[in-house]
Amino acid sequence: MINMNKDQHKTHSNKATILIVDDESTNLEILSNILVDKYVTVEASSGMQALEILDREEKPDLILLDIMMPEIDGHETCRRIKSKADTKDIDIIFITALDTTESIIAAYEAGAIDYVVKPADPDHLLKKVDLAINNQKQRVELENERKIITDAATNALSMTSEQGVVLDFMRKSYEQINLGDLSRSLVDHLSQFKLHSSVLTNSAIREIYVSDQEPISSLEKQFLQKVQSMGRIKIKGSHMIFNAEGLTLLIKNLPEDKITQARFIELITMLAEGAEARIKAFSVEDQLAAMMMNMENSLKDIQSRQKKQTQEGLKIIEDVLEETESAFMSYGMTEDQEELILNIVKNGVGKALKNYEETDQIQDKLKEFIKTLSSFLFYRR
């Protein structure tokens, strides 16, 4: 079954077009009904029919693709779409009943940007589709801007050696004051080698995703999370994964020529190891910041407890003075004796009050120290 829905497309030419591919007619109807108010929908009941539509019709803006289908499954359909120059830039969202790590990794490696598990919640699916369409528009705008910048920088880059790019990154990495700036600098320097990359960096309290093709898709984020445990360097086709402490780097277009590939792997490794060293420093700062926060909270708790204890102590002192003065009347003591005992008690009270004041001063100095150090760490972030 192929439903081209041409009349709808002509009537609402300003709407984006969504190609829905599923071998179950019920699923096609459900998905089309969810999208029809906002988008033009085109339907295909198999991967082969979807490829036929893409060969002879106006290209859709987005494809919703089932995985388990006859003839060719969704993964193969996706790979074929991504292998052709005139369709490789069409975003694909898998909609499937499969919900495993292997399936998510396979979907990403096939070239999809997102993954929805059936049965799809209508609101959730619409948000995913809206996000994909908006991201596509942003990519077009950013690509146009990037082309202008790249063309302007080509002459300058041609005069810069590969080692010079690495040294420039190392120098600039020590000027970066937060994890996000460091991640962006790494991706930007890799782009000078015409390498497309995405990076996941994390320190003690934060996690940053950056890509040279922003905005980074949710599926790519999941992929970066899943491959963190795959060893330090893993190469599969044109993809390279580099893992280090606090860093997962994905290179998407590693050259296939072995000599060029070896040279690029060396350059990528140097850049990644330089980033790793800075990430360790950021992690220490984050740990120190967390420690300062805990100390500040502890200090507030101590001050609260101390205030309460001081009030209770002053109350006890007042009671002692009252009880002492009352006792004088029942013991028949002379005025000199009463004055002597009363002076002893008052002297003890004075020492206790002085001790409270000194404790307050110590707390104030500690509070000022924590405030100063916290201000420094905040500036560093």
The whole-chain average pLDDT of the chain stands at 82
Residue holding tokens 């699923």?
Answer: 27
Q: Give the C-alpha separation, 344 to 101, whole Å.
A: 78
pLDDT band at 38 (very low <50, low <70, confident <90, very high): very high
Rounded Cα distance between 242 and 187, Å, is 13
What DSSP string runs through 205-265?
S-EEEEESSSSPPHHHHHHHHHGGGS-SEEEETTEEEEEETTEEEEES---SSHHHHHHHH
User: Does residue 156 lie within any of the structural domains?
Assistant: no
> Residue 202: pLDDT band by 50, 70, 90 thresholds?
confident
Q: How many CB atoms lie within 10 A of CB 365?
A: 10
Q: Which two tokens stand for residue 229?
A: 């445990």
Residues 271, 296 share a domain: no
**Total count of domains within the chain:** 3
pLDDT at 344: 74
Q: Show the domain range for 80.
A: 2-137
Section 105-134 average pLDDT: 92
CB-CB contact of 269 with 235 (8 Å): no
Same domain? 117 vs 178: no
pLDDT at residue 150 greater than cutoff 50:
yes
Angstrom distance (rounded) from CA 108 to CA 125:
18
In a domain, 327, yes or no: yes
Whether 179 and 269 share a structural domain: yes
Domain for residue 149, yes or no? no
Q: What sections of the chain are H helices per DSSP?
A: 6-11, 25-35, 47-56, 74-83, 101-110, 122-158, 162-173, 179-191, 218-226, 258-331, 335-380
Whether 359 is covered by a domain: the verdict is yes
Tell which of 245, 277, 309 closes a domain.
277
Around Cβ 91, how many Cβ atoms within 10 Å?
19
Gap between the Cα atoms of 142 and 196, Å rounded? 14
Is residue 122 one of the residues assigned to a domain?
A: yes
Q: Are residues 273 and 302 in the same domain?
A: no
| Residue 151 resides in a domain | no
Residue 145 lies in a domain: no
3-state helix vs strand vs coil in the chain, percent to 5 = 65, 15, 25
Identify whether the C-beta of residue 275 lies closer than 8 Å to the C-beta of residue 173. Answer: yes
131 and 6 together in one domain: yes
| Helix, strand or coil, per DSSP, at residue 373 | helix
Cβ pair 339, 347 in contact under 8 A = no
Check pLDDT > 70 for residue 325.
Answer: no
Radius of gyration of the chain measured on its C-alpha atoms: 34
Domain-terminating residue out of 223, 252, 277: 277
From 220, 251, 277, give the residue that closes a domain. Answer: 277
Structure tokens at 5: 């829905």
Residue 181 exposure: Cα atoms within 13 Å on the Cβ side? 11
Q: Which tokens hold the place of 166?
A: 């690495």
* Shared domain check, 310 and 241: no
pLDDT tens digits, one per residue of 74-118: 999 999 999 999 999 999 999 998 888 888 899 999 999 999 998
Residue 147 lies in a domain: no
Summarised one tens digit per residue, pLDDT across range 45-54 is 999 999 999 9
Same-domain status, 258 and 304: no
What is the per-residue pLDDT across 342-374, written as a single tens digit (0 to 9) for each? 677 777 666 766 666 666 666 666 667 666 655
Contact 199/187 with Cβ under 8 angstroms?
yes
Question: Closest Cα to residue 275, out of 181, 162, 158?
Answer: 181
Q: What CATH number corresponds to the domain at position 184?
A: 3.30.450.40
Contact indicator for 66, 112 with CB cutoff of 8 Å: no
Q: Are residues 22 and 109 in the same domain?
A: yes
Q: Do 53 and 2 touch, CB atoms closer than 8 A?
A: yes
Which sign does the torsion angle of CA 235, 238, 239, 244 carry?
Answer: positive
Residues 208 and 252 in one domain: yes
**Residues 23 and 79 both lie in one domain:** yes
